[in-house]
Chain A
């Protein structure tokens, strides 16, 4: 009953409502984003328990920072930024030299849309994906180089734009575009096997 007026509210307003003391608004936000953030963490870690722990840390950080929240950017950008920080912290604890950045050959002349535009040829296979194929595809995502995987997941799970990903990763938009292009290319190659 109380959730009904919250249903159509954008994320930012839900977060402000929670900051003002509405716990139901937070529950709505959690249900809206928790699965996608969990998958973002799971694909990066390949460990469900760890993904669960970092998901909890991410949302606890949201709770702690709720009072000072100001919607300067989309809530999703803020949320994935926190999740990414938790991920980096985890990797640094495990391997202090770990880094998401890797040298990627850039191709400024090509448009991202050109490279990742929908290919009608794949449409039927995507719709008729079996569990084994789905697992194989996710494995291919998880096997991507970290920086490409991160760019792909932020785009596919969080719906972040090129600029938002670039801002979050503190790299140029062209670099993000290049990473995405390489990721899409590898994933398309993995999908070829389904044909």
Chain B
């Protein structure tokens, strides 16, 4: 096909006029093109250079997070496990109270927020020496009354696990730290010797419920002589 005359005329005019972009424009564009080519491999090198340090850092970070999570989980489990022990400690004052000791297991059940709490191995060791010390105190009856009142208030207020855990350090007696039968009997004898026969009777009643086969000394049974026959 022949080139249209107008197009040929236009091209001829362009030849004559010889218009062109500035040389500076060419230099700018070619420099930008060269920079773009150089930048591409450099970006790859940068990724390659930092690949292993980044991988190592990511590994350390993930490991640290895993340890933190595991530690926190363990701590939470410990907290939960201490809750029933503390709960069980509330009726501990019942050693000196008129209510039957059967309330202790009930309290344990009501304070068990999770199955974890029922695992005895997670419970911290209790201090058995605290209960006899309280028992030997002259105002043992008052202590029992106030312990009962506290227990009721706490149960009513629905204390949180954290609050109960914070109270762990306070000296408390519990069903778990009941004295050995022999010590218990000695305590009853001591109460009778002090003339606190009503308290001795209550203590004796509980003792018998716990240890029905234990042979009691006469000093412990003085006022109960007709029963023992």
Contact = CB atoms under 8 A, between A and B. Distances in A.
Interface of A: 18, 21-23, 26-27, 30, 34-35, 38-39, 42, 48, 51-52, 55-56, 59-60, 63-64, 66-67, 113, 116-119, 122-123, 125-127, 129-131, 133-135, 137-138, 141, 152, 155-156, 183-184, 187-188, 191
Interface stretch (B9-17, B97-105, B193-201): B9-17
Contacts of A122: 5, 8-9
A66 B17 CA distance: 32
Given A127-B12, A156-B11, 18 more contacts: A21-B37, A21-B41, A22-B37, A23-B34, A26-B37, A30-B26, A34-B26, A35-B21, A48-B19, A56-B28, A56-B29, A63-B29, A64-B36, A117-B2, A117-B4, A118-B8, A134-B16, A137-B13
B58 interface: no
Contact of A42 (B4, B9, B13, B19): B19
Contact of B25 (A56, A64, A113, A184): A56
Interface centre among A131, A134, A184, A187, by most chain B C-beta atoms within 10 angstroms, is A134
Contacts of A52: 21-22, 25
A121 B5 CA distance: 9
Contact of B10 (A27, A67, A135, A137): A137
A67 B36 CA distance: 10
A27 B1 contact: no
Contacts of B12: 126-127, 129, 134
Interface of B: 1-17, 19-22, 25-26, 28-30, 32-34, 36-37, 40-41
B12 to A, nearest CB: 5
A125 B9 CA distance: 9
A39 B29 contact: no
The B contact surface, by secondary structure, is helix
Contact of A184 (B6, B29, B30): B6
A66 to B, nearest CB: 7
Contacts of A191: 5-6, 9
B16 A129 contact: yes
**The 10 nearest A-B residue pairs measured at CB:** A116-B4, A134-B13, A134-B16, A118-B2, A187-B6, A26-B33, A137-B13, A38-B21, A59-B29, A122-B5
